[in-house]
Amino acid sequence: MSQITYYTEEGLKKLKDELHHMKTVLRPSISDQIAEARDKGDLSENAEYDAAKEAQGLLEMKISKMESIIGNARIIDETNIDNSKVFILSRVKIKNVDNAMELEYTLVAENEADLKAKKISIDSPFGKGLLGKKVGEIADIVTPNGTMKFEVIDINR
């Protein structure tokens, strides 16, 4: 049984584009490699053939997994997001209680996380610690260096 995951329209489109690339570019390329290796003769001692067959198996496994993820994906309706608490797609401004450093992140699904774009996964320690918090509440976030305290300053979309 697969787990339902939530995505933005942009995030789901990215997954579908990646799946399309695997099926239309990578799959034919590997088939060509197998055919080329097969033409070289004895398959029992053909390392190129074995490598291409292994690559094909791995690609088919990735395609199957990606199809399952997409099949269980749901798009988040951004118009119904409640800004009184931190939820997925909330852009939250937080302040480190110890050093007063302010940070701003958008909480997204795990596959859409991108720290450079300030998008963190709701499954990460930060995401889990912030979910459900309201403005003014303190989130205790467990990190490898211990528990850190962050105050929620602002929540918006």
CATH number at residue 124: 3.10.50.30
Q: Quick one: 144 and 84 in the same domain?
A: yes
Q: Where are the alpha helices (H) located in 39-119, listed in sequence order?
A: 47-71
d(C-alpha 144, C-alpha 118), whole Å: 20
d(C-alpha 89, C-alpha 32), whole Å: 42
pLDDT at 1 exceeding the cut of 60: no
pLDDT at 77 exceeding the cut of 80: no
pTM beyond cutoff 0.75:
no
CATH of the domain at 67: 1.10.287.180
Domain-ending residue, one of 40, 56, 75: 75
What is the H or E stretch that residue 11 is in? Answer: helix 9-21
Percent of the chain with pLDDT over 70: 94
Q: Quick one: 118 and 58 in the same domain?
A: no
Helix %, strand %, coil % of the chain (to 5): 45, 25, 30
Q: Quick one: 55 and 44 in the same domain?
A: yes
d(C-alpha 85, C-alpha 152), whole Å: 10
pLDDT band, residue 81 (cuts 50/70/90):
low
Q: Quick one: 95 and 142 in the same domain?
A: yes
Per-residue pLDDT reduced to its tens digit, 95-119 = 999 898 999 999 988 888 888 999 9
Q: Quick one: 83 and 149 in the same domain?
A: yes
Q: Quick one: 82 and 152 in the same domain?
A: yes
| Residue in the structure block whose two tokens are 């787990």 | 3
pLDDT at 156 exceeding the cut of 90: no
Per-residue pLDDT reduced to its tens digit, 132-141 = 899 999 999 8
How much is the average pLDDT of 43-50?
A: 78
* Residue 124 CA: distances (Å) to CA of 14, 26, 41, 120: 21, 31, 51, 7
pLDDT at 10 exceeding the cut of 70: yes
Q: What's residue 2's pLDDT? A: 61
Domain-ending residue, one of 32, 53, 75: 75
Domain-ending residue, one of 75, 90, 113: 75
Q: Is the dihedral of CA 101, 146, 113, 133 positive or negative?
A: negative
Lowest mean pLDDT among 12-21, 59-68, 80-89: 80-89
Provide CB contacts within 8 A for 113, sequence distance 6+.
Answer: 119, 120, 121, 124
pLDDT band, residue 62 (cuts 50/70/90):
very high
* Domains held by the chain: number: 2
Q: Quick one: 68 and 84 in the same domain?
A: no
How much is the average pLDDT of 15-42?
A: 90
Radius of gyration in angstroms for the set of CA atoms belonging to the chain, rounded to a whole number? 22
Q: Quick one: 82 and 138 in the same domain?
A: yes
Q: Quick one: 39 and 103 in the same domain?
A: no
Q: Quick one: 47 and 95 in the same domain?
A: no
Domain of residue 36: give its range.
5-75
